[in-house]
Amino acid sequence: MKSAPFYIIFCISILVQAQPPSGDEILKKIDQNQVYDQAISTATMIVHSRTGDRMIRSKAWSKGNDKAFVEYLSPPREKGKKMLKVGDDLWIYTPEPNDRIITISGHLLKQSVMGSDMSYEDLMESDELRANYDAKVLSREMYNERDCWVLELTATNSDVAYHSRKIWVDAERWLSLKEERFARSGRLLKKTEILEVFQQDGRWLPRRITFKDMLSRGGGTEYILESIDFNVDIPDYQFTKAALRK
């Protein structure tokens, strides 16, 4: 039997390569880029409120998708406050004036974190999009001079904070450069945008992100990642309630 002419094989190869990735494949690449085993990071959050700007510095320890510990470093009124997330549980420690640990659950999860445009509900969401959403590729377009896939995400369970999302994913770096988050009613609740990125240890990471609660009259919140170290070994004790008072 004669083999197919070379140009036919070549054309078939081109067509296969031209097939766009599925929504699930894109989410998998995003998850691979942004989910990591362990990390220690420092960051500054700038809250643009109606009464002025506030800068809050913090240090965070994280392990996998379900463990995170945050200690606030400044300003003085916030220094020493800590936050612990383990699975579906979240606790806040306040040293002054009562030296107490508060469990954040139920309606409290919708409250703002430090007066920012992020809620505790946002912090509780898993970093893995594939675990919570089905994705449909809508189009491919340029955004901020970057080639992006535009995806529509629909929640696969009722536990997530947002019923649907629209995201613009960098087709080379696999970062969600822009995102719109919606309620089940279709109302736009929140917008996020990555304004600056950097590369470290083979990953593309966001350096500066903006968050805007569309139900708030404030000017939004900036989150600036100052440093991150993946080559760490964090002891399990770091993710216990006892560590909150350490």
The answer to whether residue 237 sits within a structural domain is: yes
Structure tokens at 12: 């078939």
Q: How far is CA 213 from CA 116, 221, 223, in A?
A: 9, 9, 14
Domain region containing 85: 21-244
The answer to whether residue 12 sits within a structural domain is: no
CATH number at residue 193: 2.50.20.10
**Tens digit of pLDDT for each residue in 41-53?**
999 999 998 888 9
The answer to whether residue 186 sits within a structural domain is: yes
Please give the Cα distance from 68 to 141 (Å, whole number).
35
Q: What is the pLDDT of residue 5?
A: 60
The answer to whether residue 14 sits within a structural domain is: no
Q: What is the pLDDT of residue 65?
A: 82
* Mean pLDDT confidence for 122-133: 82
163-186 burial by CB neighbour count: b if 16+ within 10 A, else e?
bbbbbbbbeebbbbbbbbbbeeee
- Kindly state the percentage of the chain with pLDDT values over 70: 92
Q: What is the pLDDT of residue 12?
A: 46
Written as one string, the DSSP assignment of 190-232 is: EEEEEEEEEEETTEEEEEEEEEEETT--S--EEEEEEEEE-S-
pLDDT-derived band at 10, boundaries 50, 70, 90: very low
Q: What ranges make up the beta strands (E) of 34-163?
A: 38-49, 52-63, 67-74, 82-86, 89-94, 100-103, 133-143, 146-155
* Mean confidence (pLDDT) of the chain: 90
Q: How far is CA 208 from CA 86, 164, 192, in A?
A: 26, 24, 11
pLDDT-derived band at 125, boundaries 50, 70, 90: confident
Please give the Cα distance from 173 to 26 (Å, whole number).
11
pLDDT-derived band at 8, boundaries 50, 70, 90: low
Q: Which amino acid is at 137?
A: V
The answer to whether residue 6 sits within a structural domain is: no
Nearest in space to 171 (alpha carbons), one of 153, 149, 151: 149
Please give the Cα distance from 69 to 86 (Å, whole number).
9
3-state secondary structure 165-187: EEEEEECCCCCEEEEEEECCCCC
The answer to whether residue 135 sits within a structural domain is: yes
Selected residue with higher pLDDT from 65 and 208: 208
| 224, β-bridge pairs | 44, 208
| 91, β-bridge pairs | 84, 103
* Mean pLDDT confidence for 84-101: 91
* Mean pLDDT confidence for 90-109: 91
How many domains does the structure of the chain reveal? Answer: 1
Kindly report the backbone phi and psi dihedral angles of residue 11, in degrees, each rounded to the nearest multiple of 5, phi listed first.
-65, -40
* Mean pLDDT confidence for 146-155: 96
The answer to whether residue 178 sits within a structural domain is: yes
Nearest in space to 222 (alpha carbons), one of 89, 20, 57, 9: 57
Q: What is the pLDDT of residue 127?
A: 64
The answer to whether residue 141 sits within a structural domain is: yes
